[in-house]
Amino acid sequence: MKVLLTEDVDTLGYKGEIFEVSDGYGRNFLIPQGFAVPATPGQLKMAAKWRELASARRDQLRKEHQALAERLVEIEVSFVAKAGDKGRLYGSITTADIAAKIQEDLGIELDRRKVSVAGKAIRQTGDHLALVRLDADYQANVTVHVLSEEDAANAEAEAVEAEVVEAESEEEAPAEEAADDAVEAVEAVGEAAAEA
């Protein structure tokens, strides 16, 4: 069966293109979902107009996807979850969770079906890669950090301790400088008294 695509279909082609597909795929999926129409002579005349419009829209989408893919490569998302002693999560981090976190971080709309991880979900602490498929041509790997609640608490305590040590060292530096200045002033007074 010949069909004319009315929408871009990731696994098949772009809007305005004509394809030969199996009868069942065309009648049971493409046509009822509104992705295609039967390729009749009247529809074929409309195909040229659709191709022009679709081409302009694809160019715009490609630019958007390229910019978004560059932004996605740069970000890292982190999750804190309950885990056992060996790092096995009591629940899991799903693609929906990852998509929601990316949406929160970048302020964009991202469908969970565009995100995939090795397996169906992340069930172990550590660093993982998630693939975000924006288009057939554009995809980006996003680093996903999963920490157990215990590790996150330890990391936070170490960060607070480091800040305290840094603050103390900053406080000691002015005190040491003041002590050095006082010693120099006493020596200058002693030299002046010796000369007199």
The CATH number given to whatever domain includes residue 61 is: 3.40.5.10
Prediction pTM value = 0.61
- Least Cα distance to 95 among 113, 74, 75, 79 occurs for 113
Q: How many domains does the chain have?
A: 2
57 assigned to some structural domain: yes
- Mean pLDDT over all residues of the chain? 81
- Least Cα distance to 122 among 94, 101, 103 occurs for 94
146-187 per-position pLDDT tens digit: 988 887 777 777 777 777 777 666 665 555 565 566 556 545
164 assigned to some structural domain: no
Encoded tokens for 87: 């790092």
